Structure 1
Amino acid sequence: MKSVRNHLSLVVALLSILFSMQLFFIVERSIDAYKVKLSQNYSVIAVSKEELSSDAFSKINKIISQAQEIAPDSVIKKLSSDMKSTNIELLKLTLPKFYKLSLKHYPSPDEIKKLKSDLLAHNAITKVEDFAHTHDTIYKLLLLFKNVVTLFSSVVLVVTLLLIFKELRIWQYKHNERMSIMGLFGAALWLRSAVLFRLAIVDALIASFVSFGVFAYLSSYPWVLEQFRNIGIEVVVFNPVDDSLMILGVSVMISIILASLIVLGHKEEA
């Protein structure tokens, strides 16, 4: 029973690290997916005295992916109820050109400022509407959410590492007498500490496989998928290859590093 409790405490500590790490990845992927959606809906309006092509706009700033001219017919229709057809055609010729500019990605506030500055520096462009206030609010909210999740994951990582280190230290003290006897008979340090490393690696494998199962289940759980559909994005909750290797590598690496620190510390005390 004691052995089970020893394993359980280490497994739970490792699981908290792996869960917080995977949740951070999910949040990061969600933010990236939402930025893609925002970039598809977000656009800048430019007013030009002359006709400009998409290539011309792309040369002004590389973030511009496409320029679409906005037909002035709807505006003219409101003004032309009592106008003759010749005057309407003349009005079309005198009106400036309006362009809807689509961007390659959702820009940062600095990129928006540079884009507006580059556009206004062009001789033909007279006005730019970048909807900066709305954009800045959304961007700052996304950044704040990401920073909060990063801070939370960092705190969980530090606290859990300390708990794992303490648990391994307690386990070492329990077997200190056996390790000392092996040392008297000339056993190498790695051999005396083999059981400690075995415990750490076994628990790392157990925590990894539990994480695989939980996130593989969540990745196909209807409620989770529905939440992402409600905000119109698709997110990879769990990648069976990349995420599995990452979880396994992190779990084993943490366990081995902490066990090594304890073993080296024991050597110095001896």
Structure 2
Amino acid sequence: MVAILLGLEFFIVFDRTTEGYENSLKDKYAMLVVAKDEMSIDDFKSWDTHVYKVAEVEKDSIIKRVDASFTKSGSSTIEKKMPNFYSIKLNRYLNESELELVKRNFMKSDKVTRVESFDTLHNSNYGLFSFIRFSFQTFIIFMTIIGFFLIVKQMEVWNFMHTDRMKVMDIFGATLFLRSKVLIVMGIIDAIVSAIIASGVFYIIQNVWMKGQNIAIIEDNTSALFSFNDIFILSFASIVIVMIAVFLVVINVKEE
């Protein structure tokens, strides 16, 4: 049972971690749009629905980066001739083709003169993220297959351990509830203990093992490794598995 719950918890952690890492990449990424006229967030959203946030880049800061020796009057003259610069954040982390489509949509506007999507850096980060996600998903598939066979084996063990006792109680006229009562109580206790052990393993990983580790996808999402709500999720899942096992044992005894 513990092995089954460890597999389930790993799946939960994987889902939270990859989602957190993807949001982190999304928050760090921004496109730069150059426009000859002022534009609002509604203007950008009218061209592409992926637009989440728009921030105008101050012209004065750009001038200072280019050359700090400009005089105040010179800076004012240059500012008037300069186009408008906007930093665009998107509502999710897009792949290469989606990002290119956003870029083309912006360029359809008569106001937009240039769009810089920083393709090389974005594609490099997205490629790494896709590889990590694919690796984890492959591992999850194997864990799911192993978990399925473990559940089957768990049911076989329960059947072997309790069939004889159920038959004896049936001979003495015990009701179905009475025959199943001890089995259900033992199963629930086993389920809760297993859930606590599985949760404890991930709690230790989060608070002990992860200290000093330099794993990028996990380092910024340490909180995703364990949540106390997981104890209730694992307890519920283990109780469901136990109830199914008890039901199958009872059915098997009745058929025999």
Question: Which bin holds the TM-score, normalised by the shorter protein?
Answer: 0.7 to 0.9
Corresponding residue to 1:180 among 143, 146, 167:
167
CA deviation profile, 1:192-251 (whole Å, cap 9, x unmatched): 344443443222122112123333333332x414447977624323222x2121111111
Residues 206-217 of structure 1 aligned to structure 2 (within 5 Å): 206-217=193-204
Counterpart residue number, 2:115: 128
Cα distance in 1 for partners of 2:66, 2:127 equals 38
- Alignment pair present for 1:142 and 2:142: no
Q: CA deviation at 1:58?
A: 4.3
Corresponding residue to 2:56 among 47, 63, 68:
68
Cα distance in 2 for partners of 1:199, 1:153 equals 30
Q: Is the 8 A contact 2:56 2:84 kept in 1?
A: no
Structure-2 change in CA distance of 1:54 and 1:161 (3 Å): closer
CA deviation profile, 1:28-49 (whole Å, cap 9, x unmatched): 3332332333223211111222
- Alignment pair present for 1:245 and 2:220: no
Cα distance in 2 for partners of 1:266, 1:21 equals 30
CA deviation profile, 1:115-174 (whole Å, cap 9, x unmatched): 223311211112212133432342243234234323423432432342343344244335
Q: CA RMSD in A?
A: 3.4
Corresponding residue to 2:31 among 44, 49, 73:
44
Q: Is the 8 A contact 1:26 1:235 kept in 2?
A: no
- Alignment pair present for 1:97 and 2:84: yes
1:69 corresponds to which letter in structure 2?
Answer: V
Gaps of 5+ in 1: 1-13
Q: Percent identity?
A: 27
Cα distance in 2 for partners of 1:116, 1:229 equals 32
Aligned to 2:222, what secondary structure does the other structure show? Answer: coil
Counterpart residue number, 2:142: 155
Q: With the length of structure 1 as denominator, give the TM-score of the two structures.
A: 0.74
The number of residues matched between the two structures is 249
Counterpart residue number, 2:21: 34
- Alignment pair present for 1:224 and 2:224: no
Structure-2 change in CA distance of 1:69 and 1:40 (3 Å): same
